[in-house]
A and B are shown apart, each in its own frame.
Chain A
Amino acid sequence: MASSTIDPGAPADEISAEQRVPDKNRIALRRTLLGRFIRSLVVAFWVMFIAFSLLRFSPGDPIRLALGTDATEEAVAEMKQRYGLDQSFFVQFYDYFTGFFSGDLGTSFFSQREVTEVIAMHLPVTLMIILLSMGAAILISIPIALSVALSRRASITYFFRTSTSISLAIPGFFLALLGLLLFGTVVTWVPAAGYEGNFPSNLKYLWLPALVNCFSLVPILSRVLHSSLMDTLDEEFVETGVIRGVGKLKFYWSYMLRPSLAPTVVLVSYMVGIMIGGTVVMEMIFSLPGIGRELIEAVSTRDYAIVQGIVMIFGFIVVFTSFIGDLLGYLLDRRVTLS
């Protein structure tokens, strides 16, 4: 090729206008990431503020709820002062905000437990369910979407659409009860209640709730991925991959999945937020000591410290995962913009 007689000095088109040096790219990426990070911090602050103000502007007095109806005015005033509830809203928020940075999220009005302790104890259970559900859903969705997209058969696509719709239409709590009935009593593959916290042994309590979650996650993920894959299949560069004769695995990854995955990855990261809410139901049905159950109990008793702590953590998780999701989407496919 080097001995070619084509003159390399002849003009190539539009070089200067369109080219960006990779180093500049990296700097731009760093700047974008920093910007996104700062934005996430701002969002996190608002999450904190809203979590803090939600209950304070909702009816019901936590002190009277905690002390009971026959508490004396003195006792109420004394407790109010102890928890700083006699001060103005903004002073309370300032105290909370500064406390946050020294790892103090307050204590429960009822159980006197530290909020951080409650979160540390119950959050792992919830996160574990979410991780299991998400991980399984992704592992199931990718091969399904890929094989349906590659099959090119109308009947298979039809079956795929119908079955995912049906699966989506079944309510999670119903499936959960059904599953519990089947695997908890007919065959005893799952303990009907109870929980133990250590990692491998807790799986026997968690696999069923995760599986039930998959029934609503897999249809959504596989359908989004399937439609991205169909778009990708129509693209010219897939033809190029076939013609270049790249290996099968490389073809599936570089020519099909990687150009199609970005929307699904971003969706997964947003779904985590929805899942946190959805897991509450699973925790109730399977009586798992997750954080969602703690939240519901705390709301009903106006336990300010617990509610705001948990809501804030939920918010932080959502902010964090969507940041990671956007970043992953970008790393997979540079056409995705991070602005």
Chain B
Amino acid sequence: MTSDVKLLDLSNVAIGIERRKRETLVLVREANFDVNYGEMVGIVGESGSGKTMVCRAIIGTLERRGASVIGGEVLFEGLDLRTINEAKWKTLRGKVIGYVPQSALAGPNPVLTIEKQLAEALSQVEGTGSMKNRSKELLDLVKIRRVDTVMKQYPYQLSGGMRQRVMIACALASKPKLLIADEPTTGLDVTVQSQIMELLREIRRDLGTAIILISHDLALVDEVCDKIVVMHAGATVEIGPTASMAKPRHPYTIALNSSRIDVAKPGGELLTIKGNPPSVGQWNPGCRFAERCDYKEQDCLVGDHPALSGKKGEHQSACLHTDKIGKI
């Protein structure tokens, strides 16, 4: 593992979905970020910003939805994921790259017992010992108690938090180098949410697994991640180390930050971001955040979406007027 090869490196990734009459709807156009070995990266953005699509591009499940990567590069340990065939995907997907799905409640297969699902995940990788013992170890790892009982149960008999633990256990079966957790705490209550976050943090610490944490909750990502990627309308608009992201350099991140409930003044007005994210297929030229932006100028409305400024690996922002930010 040479230091200059990243675990994952996305540059200018574009994702499109084929619609009727052979027209392609572009869902993501400028997704840029990289993940180092053992790093925990948070991706934040409103719904529809393309977070989940980017995930699916990394795990190789775009095709079954009629979508595909139509531009840019997705490099996993230097291997371009766009060029590999299904057979190669099978050696990566669910093995080197683990995935914890978006909705905890619908993640596990409802017609199979937990034991069967763990066995499915485990049968894909080699291991020693009986399937049962390996399954139990996995459940121990995600701190599920009364393992014997849980193994015989169906997902509907478990709480949301438990189901998500099971999903994490399945994803860890192959000891992946990269774990993608797509909004792993959606629909869970706050205490369970923090337990899951704590679990993810420990997995990364103890197993050295790199984690991509997708969330629409900036506060959550702020707490656990080393690096934050902010996405808006299918583009990475800002990326930087968590500490440095406390001083955002993109108007969208600023807006996201100020709409955080935990930073609102008691009794004060809760701020929202004005307008709605532009709908897919109706992107204007220029910066796609311009319509909602307080810093907008004439040059924001023409040309391509602004590219990320600055050096890769440092704090980067895709705004033409970064220098103005913080001065208004």
Contacts and interface: CB of A to CB of B under 8 A. Distances in A.
B109 A237 contact: yes
B61 A13 contact: no
Contact of B101 (A152, A236, A255, A335): A236
Contacts of B35: none
A15 B157 contact: no
Given A12-B144, A154-B20, A334-B110, A242 B61 contact: yes
B251 interface: no
B215 to A, nearest CB: 16
A244 B121 contact: yes
A22 B109 contact: no
Contact of A19 (B99, B102, B146, B191): B146
A207 to B, nearest CB: 35
A10 interface: yes
Contact of B110 (A4, A243, A245, A335): A335
B157 A243 contact: no
Interface of B: 20, 59, 61, 64-66, 90, 93-95, 99, 101-103, 106-112, 120-121, 124, 134, 137-138, 140-141, 143-146, 149-150, 152-154, 156-159, 161-162, 165, 167, 170, 172, 175, 191-192, 195, 202-203, 206-207
B149 A21 contact: yes
Contacts of A246: 120
Interface of A: 1-2, 4-8, 10-15, 17-22, 25, 152, 154, 235-237, 239-246, 254-255, 258-259, 332-335
B162 A1 contact: no
B120 A18 contact: no
Contacts of B140: 1-2, 8
B161 A13 contact: yes
Contacts, number: 126
Contacts of A254: 109, 111-112
A321 B145 CA distance: 41
Contact of B162 (A5, A13, A22, A243): A13
Given A19-B157, A235-B106, A258 B149 contact: no
Given A15-B145, A19-B150, A4 B207 contact: yes
A334 B111 contact: yes
Contact of B103 (A21, A236, A258): A236
Contacts of A243: 59, 61, 93-94, 99
Contact of A11 (B20, B158, B195, B207): B195
25 contacts: A2-B137, A4-B141, A5-B206, A6-B143, A8-B141, A12-B144, A12-B161, A14-B159, A14-B192, A15-B145, A19-B149, A19-B153, A19-B157, A25-B157, A237-B101, A237-B106, A240-B101, A243-B59, A243-B94, A244-B120, A244-B124, A245-B94, A259-B109, A333-B110, A334-B154
